[in-house]
Chains A and B, each alone.
Chain A
Amino acid sequence: MNFINSVSMNVRTLVVAGILAASLAGTVANAQSKLNVVTSTEDLGSIAREVGGDKVNVTALARGFQDPHFVEPKPSFILAVNRAALYIAVGRELEIGWLPPLLTSSRNAKIQPGAPGYLDASQNVRILEIPTGQITRAMGDVHPLGNPHYWLEPGNGRLIAQAIRNKLSELAPADKAYFAQRYDDFDRRLAAAEKRWDATMAPYKGTKVVTYHRSWPNFMARFGLEVVGYVEPKPGIPPSPSHTIDLVEEMKRSSIKLIVVEPYFSLKTPQAIANQVPGAKVLVLAPSVGGVKEVTDYIQLFEYDVNLLAGALKQITGK
């Protein structure tokens, strides 16, 4: 009995092991046939997932609640980039503090800037605040390549998706039709959502707002809001007293009641400014996918921000 039992046990173990090995081999084969895509931010990661579907493995490096200007590289980043077939960067010097050394350290020739596996997502999108003519120091803060927070405009999201579709089709020509179909589906859902957002934001066209960092020009322009000032006198520089006083005066004069802040900045200064302007509010919006827990993809990012913003504007304007 014992003997039979142990034999049947062994057989069972063997069968289980065989199934495990087979499924493991399956996963490995599957992983190999998928294209490894690494993106700088979760926004690009989300769009890459929309277009790539189950033909790609997407890894986003910067988390949505992190300031994408400052990312602390970790050992896993190097491994991820080393194994990437495609790297998608935000570009416009947003990642200049951390990406170039990371790409060099990865020793992956396929994804170096200029190589076919490197995609600068900002190449074909609408970029705001590009200075024209000679840049002089008297102009103060000027970003020579324009504002890098361009993904906060659904139209640009569509253009990014197109660029990713074209790039993926180039890297995996066999799946071209699949990527095209995925893109069309994303395009349709985005267009439907845009109609909804436009309707929600329509009553507040022309409202003036203040933002902390210059992250929102594309977003505000898209929904017809006007950014008239920044809490930061210039990016990365703490507010000076005279700048803060000027801002409070400007907000009182033009009856601006809303200060939009990114989640990675302290609310102290914005709150202090809001306290001095009657009826003013501070609102934290998500500048990226993953910036708050609820926002898990690109369309939800706008869903969340538009609803929050419309809610706040409704209170302020009474419309």
Chain B
Amino acid sequence: MDWSIFQFLAPAIAASLIIAGIHAYLGLHVVERGVIFVDLSLAQIASLGAAIAVWQGYDPHDSSVIYWMSLAFTLIGAVIFAVIKGHEARIPQEAFIGISYAVASAAVILTLSKATGEAEHLRDMLVGNILSVQWPEVGLTALIYLAIGVFHYVFRRRFLEISLDPVATAARGVSVRFWDFLFYASFGLVVTRSVAIAGVLLVFCYLIVPSVGGMLFSARIGPRLAIGWVMGVLVSMLGMYFSVQFDLPTGATIVCTFGLALIGMAAARPLFRRA
């Protein structure tokens, strides 16, 4: 084992820990709300924004216009998801999320087919690779996630009561739609950045798996969050280690490590039950 590799992996490790931190928390809400695939959908809507910017002739290597465009589309996505919740009695929200995902993905293909230049590179640019993340990007991401984390901490009770029981909260006269927009907007902000750094698959795992792992062992929010954080950090480190040890693509290795960890936790669960 060549340990000197870890000095090059330091930014990737830092990024994965930052992502693990905020996503384990947001994942709790996402799983509670039963909108499992909302991050994939929002990420795809953000990609559509970026693709449209490229189609309009903006240089895909100059990331600022692309980033603002994808951010604007994320906010549009947040509005859509906040508004469609009203119809949940008849049609499950997950159906709309799936439809948005499919349509946004297809629209990206259509937009890129009309863009000048080689479209083949663009898909790569929209989806990041955690191995190539650099310190300035990690620093900026940490600041943004810290701000969003503080925002969620301040309004944690409001977000939580809506996630757990939206009907009762609405009955008390709270504008669920407004708060849902805030939730999806801040969530979209995080997901768009994370996907640009780590790629779609990895971000999905950071969001959902720690939350599910926590639910295996506890019904209370606090312990679930704690288990999720510990799991996110341990799996990140273990995945990085496997990636170096067996020289495998880093993102996919962490994703599979998440899967193995969850199987291990599910197997260990009966032991804790009896105790």
Contacts and interface: CB of A to CB of B under 8 A. Distances in A.
Interface stretch (B84-92, B125-133, B166-174): B125-133
Interface string B38-68: 0000000000000000000100010000000
Contacts of B134: 101, 104-105
A188 B116 CA distance: 42
A93 B113 CA distance: 19
A237 B117 contact: no
B120 A69 contact: yes
Contacts of A139: 116
B92 to A, nearest CB: 31
B129 A73 contact: yes
Contact of B125 (A74, A97, A104, A107): A97
A96 interface: yes
A238 to B, nearest CB: 7
Interface residues of A, number: 36
Contacts of A104: 132, 134
B274 interface: no
B249 A78 contact: no
Interface stretch (B3-11, B71-79, B222-230): B3-11
Contacts of B250: 73-75
Given A101-B132, A105-B131, A236-B112, A75 B119 contact: no
B132 A73 contact: yes
A232 to B, nearest CB: 9
Nearest to A101: B132
Contacts of B132: 73, 98, 101-102, 104-105
Nearest to B125: A97
Q: Which of B123, B131, B248 has the most CB of A within 10 A?
A: B131
Interface string A229-258: 000011111101000000000000000000
B105 interface: no
B236 to A, nearest CB: 14
A235 to B, nearest CB: 5
A141 B134 CA distance: 31
Contacts of B119: 141, 234-237
A106 interface: yes
Interface string B75-114: 0000000000000000000000000000000000100111
B244 interface: yes
A72 B109 contact: no
A76 interface: yes
B131 A73 contact: yes
Contacts of A143: 117-118
Which one of A76, A136, A233 has the greatest number of beta carbons of chain B within 10 Å? Answer: A76
Interface size class of B (residues with CB under 8 A): 35 or more
Contact of B124 (A70, A106, A144, A234): A70
B118 A141 contact: yes
Nearest to A107: B8
A249 B76 CA distance: 43
Contacts of B4: 79
Contact of B113 (A75, A79, A101, A234): A234
**Which residue, B118, B121, B124, has most C-beta atoms of chain A within 10 A?**
B118
Most B CB contacts (10 A, CB to CB) among A144, A235, A236 go to A236
A198 to B, nearest CB: 32
Interface in A46-94: 69-70, 72-76, 78-79, 82, 93
Nearest to A238: B109
A104 B133 CA distance: 9
Contact of B8 (A93, A97, A106): A106
B5 A73 contact: no
Interface in A2-30: none
B243 interface: yes
A142 interface: yes
A135 interface: yes
A195 interface: no
Nearest to B12: A105
B124 A74 contact: no
B129 A101 contact: yes
A293 interface: no
A75 B247 contact: yes
Contacts of B247: 74-76
Q: Which 8 pairs, one residue from A and one from B, show the smallest C-beta to C-beta distance?
A: A236-B120, A101-B132, A97-B124, A72-B249, A236-B119, A76-B247, A237-B113, A75-B244
Given A96-B121, A98-B129, A101-B129, 12 more contacts: A69-B124, A73-B131, A73-B132, A76-B247, A79-B5, A98-B124, A98-B132, A104-B132, A105-B11, A137-B114, A233-B113, A237-B113
15 contacts: A69-B121, A70-B120, A70-B124, A72-B129, A73-B129, A73-B132, A74-B243, A74-B249, A101-B133, A102-B132, A105-B131, A106-B8, A234-B119, A235-B119, A236-B119
